[in-house]
Amino acid sequence: MSYTLSSPPTRPPKLGRPADGATRPMSLPFTDARSCKDWLKEIPLTNAGQAQRLMLEAVRNLNRADFPALERLTCLELMRDKVSFVQAEQRSRYAGKTVPLSSADMAVWDTSRQLVEEMEAGYRKCFELVGQGDTSVEPHLALIIQRTMRYIGLQMLFAGILYRRFDPGLWMRLHLQWIEAESRGLALNKVKDSVGSIDGVSSVTAAYVAILLAQLARTHELGTRQMDFLDAILKRFAAKVTVSLSPVSARPGHLLSVDLFTNAGASTDPGARESDHVRFLDVTALSKSLRARVVKLQEGESPAAMSLPTDWPVGEMTTQLRRLHKLWCEPVPMLPPGIVPSQTHAIVCFGLDQFHYFLTGAPFEQPGRKRELSRQELNDIAMFGKVSEQTMKSLYVEVKFTTESWGIIEETRGALKLMRPGNSAQGLAVGRLMGVRLSVQSPWMVAVVSAILAEADGTHHATLTLLPGAPAAVAVRAADQRNRTGSQYVPALTLPAVPALNVEETVLIPSNLTPPGRGVDIALTGQAQGKEITVHEVIERGVDFERVTFF
C-alpha cells in the first residue's frame, strides 16, 4: 500500500497563552502551557505515589477544561515524560507480584490504569477539536494519533499485567485511529517519541504494529521479565513489519491479517480475503531478523552487537526469540482439545520448600546432622517399620506448610488447567513453581505456572506445565565459600534425564543461588555428605527457582 508522506514536525508545538475567555477548573494547577511547565518542575518526584496522584488529577481536569487544541497538546507533551517516569516507579508495586493483589497494591495499579486512560482521552480531545474547527494542531495529527494508539495499547497491557481480559472495544478504538491516519496519509510520518522508541523516533505504523504483535504474544503466558523482553524486541523490530491492502507473496505464516471492522486484533488466518476493511501485515523481514539473531547467539555473538537486551542469559534469550517467532511468523498448529479427567480436584503445594517437605514427608534438615529419635518415633518404627504420618505431624507442629485442593478444568498433554479456589491462601504468578498430585495415592509431579487468566467472576484459571521425570529431594548450597551468604544447605529438587524427549538431567535450585560456571554442593536426602557439581546453563528461570543443567 502506498502512503503520501508529508513533512513531519521538526519540533514540538510552541508554547502559547490561553485564548481569551478560556475557562479553567479551580483545581487545575496551571492556566496555560508555560505555567504547566513551571508546575511540573515543582512535583515531588521522590514521592512517586504523590506525584502520580497529582498528575492524574491534573490530566483529568485538563480533559474537562476549555483549552485550545495547541495549548492542550503542549501540556500533554510536557507531562508525558513525567507520567512515564512515575508510572515506571510505581510499577514494582503490582508487576511481578502474585495475583490477586493486596488491596494496597491493587489501588496503585488502578491509579496507574486511570492515568493511562486519561492520557488517551487527552490526546483524543485534541483530535476532536480539529473536527470542531480548531486547525492549530493539524500539522501534528500524526503525533496525536500515534500517542492515542500508544495509550490504547498500554491499557491492554495494564489488563495483561493482572492477566485480565480487556474491554474488546479497545480494538475498535485502535482500528479507527489507524483508519484516520491512513486516510490522511499520515501512517508513515515520523514523529518524536522519547518513551516508546529506542531511537527517539516512531510512527503511527510502528505503534499500530507493536500493539498487534504484543497481543499476539499471549501476555497471559508472560511474567514481568518476559513482558519487558517483549517490549524491548518490539521497540527494536516492529518497524520491520509492513502494512498493506493486498496480501503480498510471503512464506506460510509470514502474513498476518486484521479486520478493521471487528473488536479483534491480528491473526494468522490463511483464509483472509482482500477487502476495504482488511489489512495485511508482512512479517518476512521480522522473521529473518529473529532467526538470524538466534543463530548468531548460538555462535557466541554478543547480544549488544545485535540490538538485543544485555541482561538475559543466552539460553533464555534464545528460547524467548524462538517463542516470539513461532507466534508471529509461523502457521498456528492445530492443538488437540483438552479432556476433563475423572479426578475433579488436584492437590497442590508451592515452591521448593513446600515441595521438598511433602515429597519427603519430613521437615528439611541439614545433611549430616544427627537427631535423636523421640520415644513415639521409636515405637512407630518398632510397630510399623516407619514413623507414622500422624507422629510426624505432631513432632513438627511448627511447620506451617499445607496443601490446597484446586479444581481441575481440563488436562492436555504435559499440562493441567486448574481453578484457584476463592479461599486459597496462595497467589499466582507466571513462572511460579508448584507441586501437584491428582490424588493422595498419586506421585508428586513438578509443575510451573505457564499461563493465568482472571475471569470476570473473580476466579483465576492457571495452566501448569508439567516437567518430565520423577522428582527427587536434595539439598544444595553454593560451593564457593567466598560468594555464598552462609554455610547452610537449602531444599532443592532433581529431575532425571528423559532421552525420549531429549531432556537432560536437571536440578531445580533457588533463584540466584549461583551463576553458570560456578560450583554447587549437592546432597541427597539422608546422605551425610554431598558432592560438587558445576552449573552449566540456566534453561528455565522462574520467579522463585532456576532449572539448570550441570556437569
Q: With a cut of 90, say whether residue 253 has pLDDT above it.
A: no
Q: What is the pLDDT of residues 515-544, one digit of tens each?
A: 889 999 999 866 666 799 999 988 899 999
Domain assignment present for residue 387? The answer is no
Asked if residue 435 and residue 317 are part of one domain, the reply reads: no
Higher pLDDT, 394 or 141: 141
Residue 187 lies in a domain: yes
Q: What is the pLDDT of residue 17?
A: 42
Rounded Cα gap, residues 539 and 522, in angstroms: 19
The answer to whether residue 416 scores a pLDDT higher than 50 is yes
Residues 53 and 98 in one domain: yes
How far is the C-alpha of 154 from the C-alpha of 116, rounded, in Å? 7
Same domain, 288 and 323: yes
Return the CA Rg of the chain: 28
The predicted structure's pLDDT at residue 339: 87
Q: Which of 464, 488, 504 is the last residue of a domain?
A: 464
> Is pLDDT above 50 for 4?
no
Least Cα distance to 424 among 461, 392, 466 occurs for 461
- Between 192 and 272, the more confident residue is 192
Distances (CA, A) of 78 to 204, 207, 522: 20, 20, 56
Residues above pLDDT 70, as percent of the chain:
91
3-state class of 287 per DSSP?
helix
Q: Clarify whether residues 198 and 153 are in a common domain.
A: yes
At 139-185, the pLDDT tens digits run 999 999 999 999 999 999 999 999 999 999 999 999 999 999 999 99
Residues 195, 285, single domain; the answer is: no
pLDDT at position 12, please?
A: 38
pTM above 0.85, yes or no: yes
391: CB partners within 8 A, 6+ apart: 376, 377, 380
Nearest by Cα to 10 from 231, 215, 191: 191
Task: State what percent of residues in the chain have pLDDT above 90.
Answer: 72
- Is the predicted pLDDT of residue 6 greater than 60, yes or no? no
Report whether 145 contacts 177 (CB < 8 A). Answer: yes
Residue type, 252: P
Of 505 and 248, which is predicted with more confidence?
A: 505
| Beta-bridge partner residues of 407 | 345, 419
Please determine, for residue 279, whether its predicted confidence score (pLDDT) is greater than 80. yes
Confidence of residue 39 (pLDDT cuts 50, 70, 90): very high
Half-sphere exposure of 513 (CA within 13 A, CB side): 30
Amino acid 252: pLDDT: 66
- Together in a domain, 97 and 174: yes
The string of pLDDT tens digits covering residues 91-129 is: 999 998 999 999 999 999 999 999 999 999 999 999 999
pLDDT band at 255 (very low <50, low <70, confident <90, very high): confident
How many structural domains does the chain have?
A: 4
Residue 52 has pLDDT above 60, yes or no: yes
Same domain, 160 and 37: yes
Residue 388 inside a domain? The answer is: no
Residue 8 DSSP code = P
- Tell me, yes or no, whether 49 and 126 share the same domain: yes
For residue 100, whether the previous peptide bond is cis, meaning omega lies within 30 degrees of 0, is: yes
Task: Tell me the average pLDDT across 450-468.
Answer: 95
Cβ contact 12:77 at 8 Å: yes
| pLDDT (mean) for 407-419 | 94
Q: For helices 69-90 and 103-131, what crossing angle results, to 10°?
A: 160
Q: What is the mean pLDDT of residues 395-417?
A: 85
Q: How many C-beta atoms lie closer than 10 Å to residue 533's C-beta?
A: 17
370: in domain = no
**With contact defined as beta carbons under 8 Å apart, do 462 and 428 qualify?**
yes
Domain that holds residue 204: 1-215
Same domain, 15 and 124: yes
Neighbouring-strand partners of residue 419 = 407, 461
| 378-393 residues labelled b (16+ CB within 10 A) or e (exposed) | eebeeeeeebeeebbe
**C-alpha closest to that of 253 among 307, 216, 293:** 216
pLDDT-derived band at 397 (thresholds 50, 70, 90) equals: low
* Same domain? 184 vs 113: yes
Query: Quick one: pLDDT at residue 523?
Result: 92
Residue 119 belongs to some domain of the structure = yes
Q: Which of 105, 24, 17, 106 is nearest to 58 (CA)?
A: 24
pLDDT at 392 over 70: no
In a domain, 130, yes or no: yes
Q: How far apart are CA 52 and CA 48, in angstroms?
A: 6
Question: Is 392 part of a structural domain of the chain?
Answer: no
Decide if 54 is inside a domain.
Answer: yes
> In this structure, are 302 and 356 located in the same domain?
no
Query: By CB neighbour count within 10 A (0-12 exposed, 13-18 middle, 19+ buried), where does 369 fall?
Result: exposed
Q: Does residue 29 register a pLDDT over 90? A: yes
Domain check: are 34 and 163 in the same one? Answer: yes
Average pLDDT, the chain: 89
Condensed to tens digits (0 to 9), the pLDDT of residues 307-330 reads: 899 888 888 899 999 999 999 998
**Segment (H or E) for 184:** none
Confidence at residue 398, expressed as pLDDT on a 0 to 100 scale: 57
Task: Tell me the average pLDDT across 427-447.
Answer: 95
The confidence score (pLDDT) of residue 364 equals 87
